[in-house]
Amino acid sequence: MRVAAYVLVPAENDAPEDSLQIQEKHYDTTISANPNWEYVGLYADKGISRTRTHNRKGFQQMIDDCKAGKINLIVVKDVSRFAKNIVDCLNTVRMFLNLDHPVGVFFEDNNLNTLDASGNVTIELFAMFAELESDLRKRRAQWRKTLKTRT
């Protein structure tokens, strides 16, 4: 099975400078250790808005490679690193599953695989929570900005 990883490194100041390299090493080790998997690479976006997927170049390249049959499974840390927008998340997962050669997404921290039908409802819930979390962060940032301009 040809397996790729997807990494989203946040733009926040608390993200370690070497976060991308650490995650790349993790996936290289994890995927290569599975004898049934062939590691075909890492797709990454760094410092890009997490709310929408259309502006992530790494994510879009991954989609193109899935459509081209280069990938059978994508490994990602969790649903919130895949998509913070429930519509984007579910549409992408469904599109992958409807390809001539279905592509699964395995969310490590959530232990969910989209190739397993029982996980689909759970993925919808995690996607909903990810979107809500993103919205709350955005509101908090706006609130902090408002407070700074008042002082």
Question: In Å, what is the CA distance from 73 to each residue of 4, 101, 113, 117, 149?
Answer: 6, 11, 9, 15, 47
- Looking at per-residue pLDDT, the higher value among 134 and 89 belongs to 89
The percent of residues above 90 in pLDDT, for the chain, comes to: 42
Query: What would the pLDDT profile of 72-92 be if each residue is shown by its tens digit?
Result: 999 999 888 888 777 888 889
Q: How confident is the model at residue 31 (pLDDT cuts 50, 70, 90)?
A: very high
Query: What would the pLDDT profile of 5-21 be if each residue is shown by its tens digit?
Result: 999 887 665 556 678 88
Distance CA 60, CA 70 (A): 14
Q: Which amino acid belongs to residue 134?
A: S
Distance CA 80, CA 86 (A): 10
Domain of residue 97: give its range: 2-150
Give the pLDDT confidence score for residue 92 in this predicted structure: 92
Distance CA 72, CA 90 (A): 18
Tell me the three state secondary structure of residue 80: helix
Check which CATH number belongs to the domain holding 31 and give it: 3.40.50.1390
Q: pTM value?
A: 0.77
Query: What would the pLDDT profile of 102-121 be if each residue is shown by its tens digit?
Result: 999 999 988 889 988 765 65
Q: How confident is the model at residue 3 (pLDDT cuts 50, 70, 90)?
A: very high
- Looking at per-residue pLDDT, the higher value among 130 and 32 belongs to 32
Q: Select from 9, 7, 40 the least CA-distant residue to 26.
A: 7
Domain count, the chain: 1
Give the pLDDT confidence score for residue 71 in this predicted structure: 98
